[in-house]
């Protein structure tokens, strides 16, 4: 038994191989790309799970025919590993109800999520949650060690698994280990609030490469590392692994910015199934059903307080109130995917959003013709695509967001350069989509201004609006998820070498 720098006890550490599996490419993420569903008659089925990480990684795993290690989305269930139709081996990790509450809802989503999103709500620091986080990270690392072939590449995903690189290095020094953080990395003065900051950081430092979305995230991380005994070299402005950090034990770690993107090929057709004509008819019908508004605003988000859904509704309400927008002429569609529903701050957010939807419709809608169309359910990819195509103006107004794939997905449906994007300057996507109508979501006047500029621009200056959309469309098409994954994986190879 040996102990890692994170204090996690590891049986059989330093024994290369051991019970090595035969997968040469392994991704490990908190969730599998599918959720296990129990039907009324007790049969178990699988359903694709929504979310940015799944959207980004599924095509990468399919291309490599790799193995995905993760939790199947239901507590106390341990289904057998199975291969998807597209050739990805799914290897479930069991989480108990206790793990779910303490590791997932607690430490991951009530401690780390708010801490890394610049304290939009106050993080809770609870010692038993930390213990659960360490235990579950050990379990994930042990599963990976059992499925990875000798010398395999393992790609660890996101904030729930930051101790996995350290544990895995002890268990399987033969592996090449990459880590990607899908959410922002906070400024050091915020990170330092974490009571377990040293263990957490050391868990990460055993990776060969750490990737963030943005250079600003890299800067925060490097600045934090300066306060430790690490040697730092390289140029921060070189996006892909411009920085090398050497730990006191001599381990070298690459650090770089790899802005994530979307599977553009999946966005190119109006629907995955059905003809173009059918898709157009369905779209027309949707528009008719909504009372044929001349401008449709659209929001698509997990129902999360970071996404700024309430503030966007309030901005819309004030524009209706002042007469700047005519309720007979506009509609706002808000799709809000259920998320982390048992956590208090999420319940409060949902209740505030739904109160605002009811109030706005009560004030401005006609019976049978809502001005805000709100849905708190997931929709299929086909239906989501239809909403993207229906919208005139996409509203993406998070207070803080690592990247935001919704913004890129909307742009990718605009081969004809139609429509406009209102985008928060605090979404990672704003670094690339500079031709969006950028706004500060903390400033309601600024948000209203961006919404109106987009609406007026489409009416008064369509040529200029087309140029803006075309430039964003090209940016997204030229920087797709394949490029993101291949840039990361080739930097990982180099870092290991
Ligand atoms: C995290 C980071 C980063 C949403 N509703 C439905 C649905 N979705 C899909 C969207 C999109 C994804 O979920 C959401 O991705 P985002 O990037 O917008 O946001 P997070 O879930 O917070 O993702 C984020 C991302 O990781 C990747 O690194 O960009 O900053 O927070 O793909 O299309 N898909 C379907 N039905 C829905 O109702 N089918």
- Quick one: 144 and 274 in the same domain? no
**Residue 214 clears pLDDT 80, i.e. is over it:** yes
Q: What are the contacts of 344-347 at 24+ separation with CB within 8 A?
A: 345/110, 345/114, 345/121, 345/305, 346/303, 346/304, 346/305
- Quick one: 96 and 229 in the same domain? yes
Domain with 378, as residue range(s), is 265-478
CA of 488 to the centre of ligand 1 (A): 20
Residues with CB under 6 A from ligand 1: 50-53, 55-56, 182-183, 260, 300, 302, 335, 337, 378-381, 384, 401-406, 409
CA of 406 to the centre of ligand 1 (A): 6
CA angle (403, 407, 413) in 5-degree steps: 140
2 in a domain, yes or no?
Answer: no
Nearest atom, ligand 1, residue 402 CA = 30
Task: Give per-residue pLDDT as tens, 128-174.
Answer: 999 999 999 999 999 999 999 999 999 999 999 999 999 999 999 99
7 in a domain, yes or no?
Answer: no
Q: Which two tokens stand for residue 176?
A: 């090449």
- Quick one: 89 and 190 in the same domain? yes
**Residue 422 clears pLDDT 70, i.e. is over it:** yes
Nearest atom, ligand 1, residue 407 CA = 18
CA of 128 to the centre of ligand 1 (A): 30
Name the residue at shortest CA distance from atom 13 of ligand 1.
51
- Quick one: 364 and 289 in the same domain? yes
Nearest atom, ligand 1, residue 307 CA = 22
Nearest atom, ligand 1, residue 335 CA = 38
Task: Give per-residue pLDDT as tens, 438-480.
Answer: 999 999 999 999 999 999 999 999 999 999 999 999 999 999 9
Nearest atom, ligand 1, residue 182 CA = 28
Which strand (E) or helix (H) includes residue 460? helix 444-460
- Quick one: 41 and 132 in the same domain? yes
331 in a domain, yes or no?
Answer: yes
How many separate domains does the chain show?
Answer: 2
> What pLDDT sits at residue 293?
96
Average pLDDT over all residues of the chain: 92
321 in a domain, yes or no?
Answer: yes
Q: For a substitution probing ligand 1, which of 182, 213, 403, 405 has the most ligand atoms within 8 Å of its CB?
A: 405
What are the Cα distances from residue 436, in Å, to 19, 47, 241, 410? 51, 34, 28, 12
> What pLDDT sits at residue 41?
86
Task: Give per-residue pLDDT as tens, 364-401.
Answer: 999 999 999 999 999 998 999 999 999 999 999 999 99
Task: Evaluate whether 29 touches 68 at the Cβ level (below 8 Å).
Answer: yes
- Quick one: 112 and 207 in the same domain? yes
- Quick one: 412 and 491 in the same domain? no
- Quick one: 276 and 252 in the same domain? no
Could you list the beta-strand ranges (E) of 88-140: 89-92
Task: Give per-residue pLDDT as tens, 65-101.
Answer: 899 999 999 999 888 999 988 899 999 999 999 999 9
- Quick one: 123 and 157 in the same domain? yes
CA of 57 to the centre of ligand 1 (A): 12
Judged by average pLDDT, the poorest of 102-106, 229-233, 309-313 is 229-233
CA of 438 to the centre of ligand 1 (A): 20
CA of 150 to the centre of ligand 1 (A): 33
Q: For a substitution probing ligand 1, which of 31, 50, 399, 485 has the most ligand atoms within 8 Å of its CB?
A: 50
Strand order in the sheet with 372-375: 372-375, 330-337, 295-302, 393-396, 420-424, 437-439
5 in a domain, yes or no?
Answer: no
* CATH number of the domain where residue 227 is located: 3.40.50.2000
- Quick one: 227 and 288 in the same domain? no
CA of 247 to the centre of ligand 1 (A): 34
CA of 302 to the centre of ligand 1 (A): 7
6 in a domain, yes or no?
Answer: no
116 in a domain, yes or no?
Answer: yes
CA of 289 to the centre of ligand 1 (A): 27
What are the Cα distances from residue 359, in Å, to 128, 326, 372, 462? 41, 16, 10, 33
**Residue 272 clears pLDDT 70, i.e. is over it:** no
> What pLDDT sits at residue 85?
87
Mean pLDDT for the stretch of residues 107-112: 98
> What pLDDT sits at residue 80?
92
Task: Give per-residue pLDDT as tens, 3-30.
Answer: 444 455 544 443 333 446 899 999 999 9
Nearest atom, ligand 1, residue 260 CA = 28
Site of tokens 């006191």: 248
* Distance, CA of 344 to chain centre: 21
Nearest atom, ligand 1, residue 52 CA = 15
CA angle (137, 140, 143) in 5-degree steps: 150
Q: For a substitution probing ligand 1, which of 29, 47, 52 has the most ligand atoms within 8 Å of its CB?
A: 52
- Quick one: 242 and 294 in the same domain? no
**Cα 152 from Cα 81, distance rounded (Å):** 19
- Quick one: 308 and 177 in the same domain? no
Contacts of 88 by beta carbon, 8 Å cutoff, 6+ apart: 33, 58, 61, 62, 65, 66, 67, 68
Angle between helices 309-321 and 444-460 (to 10 degrees): 60
Mean pLDDT for the stretch of residues 333-356: 96
**Cα 412 from Cα 470, distance rounded (Å):** 10
Report the percentage of the chain scoring pLDDT > 70: 93
Q: How confident is the model at residue 43 (pLDDT cuts 50, 70, 90)?
A: confident
**Cα 321 from Cα 385, distance rounded (Å):** 31
8 in a domain, yes or no?
Answer: no
CA of 157 to the centre of ligand 1 (A): 15
């Amino acid at each position: 038994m040996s102990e890692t720098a994170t204090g996690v006890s590891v049986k059989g550490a330093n024994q290369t191989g051991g019970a090595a599996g035969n997968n040469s490419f392994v991704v490990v993420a908190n969730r599998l790309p599918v959720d296990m569903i129990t039907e009324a008659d007790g049969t178990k089925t699988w359903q694709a799970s929504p979310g940015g990480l799944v959207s980004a990684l599924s095509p990468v795993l399919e291309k490599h025919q790799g193995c995905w290690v993760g939790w199947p989305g239901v507590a106390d269930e341990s289904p057998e590993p199975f291969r998807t139709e597209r050739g990805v081996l799914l290897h479930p990790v069991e989480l108990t109800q206790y793990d779910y509450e303490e590791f997932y809802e607690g430490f991951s989503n009530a401690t780390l999520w708010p801490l890394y999103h610049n304290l939009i709500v106050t993080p809770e620091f609870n010692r038993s949650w930390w213990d659960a986080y360490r235990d579950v990270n050990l379990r994930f690392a042990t599963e990976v060690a059992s499925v990875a072939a000798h010398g395999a590449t393992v790609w660890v995903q996101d904030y729930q698994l930051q101790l996995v690189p350290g544990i895995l290095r002890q268990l399987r020094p033969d592996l090449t280990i990459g880590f990607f953080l899908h959410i922002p990395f906070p400024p050091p003065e915020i990170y330092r609030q974490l009571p377990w900051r040293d263990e957490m950081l050391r868990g990460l430092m055993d990776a060969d490469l750490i990737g963030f979305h943005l250079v600003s995230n890299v800067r925060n991380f490097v600045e934090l590392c300066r306060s430790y005994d690490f040697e730092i070299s390289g140029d921060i402005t070189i996006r892909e692994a411009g920085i090398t950090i050497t730990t006191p034990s001599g381990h070298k770690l690459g650090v770089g910015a790899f802005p994530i993107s979307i599977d553009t090929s999946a966005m190119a057709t109006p629907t995955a199934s059905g003809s173009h004509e059918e898709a157009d008819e369905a779209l027309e019908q949707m528009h008719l059903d909504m009372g044929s508004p001349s401008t449709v605003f659209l929001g698509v988000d997990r129902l999360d307080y970071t996404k700024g859904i309430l503030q966007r509704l309030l901005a819309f309400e004030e524009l209706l109130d002042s007469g700047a927008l005519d309720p007979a002429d506009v509609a706002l569609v808000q799709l809000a995917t259920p998320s982390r529903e048992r956590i208090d701050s999420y319940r409060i957010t949902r209740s505030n959003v739904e109160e605002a939807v009811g109030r706005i419709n009560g004030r401005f809608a006609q019976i049978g013709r809502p001005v805000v169309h709100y849905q708190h359910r997931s929709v299929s990819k086909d239906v989501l695509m239809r909403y993207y195509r229906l919208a005139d103006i996409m509203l993406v107004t998070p207070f803080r967001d690592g990247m935001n794939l919704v913004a890129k997905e909307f742009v990718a449906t605009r081969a004809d350069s139609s429509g406009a994007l209102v985008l928060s300057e605090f979404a990672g996507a704003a670094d690339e989509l500079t031709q969006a109508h950028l706004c500060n979501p903390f400033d309601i006047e600024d948000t209203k201004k961006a919404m109106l500029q987009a609406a007026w621009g489409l009416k008064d200056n369509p040529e200029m609006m087309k140029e803006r959309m075309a430039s964003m469309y090209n940016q997204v098409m030229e920087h797709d998820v394949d490029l993101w994954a291949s840039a990361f994986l080739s930097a990982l190879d180099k870092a290991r070498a």
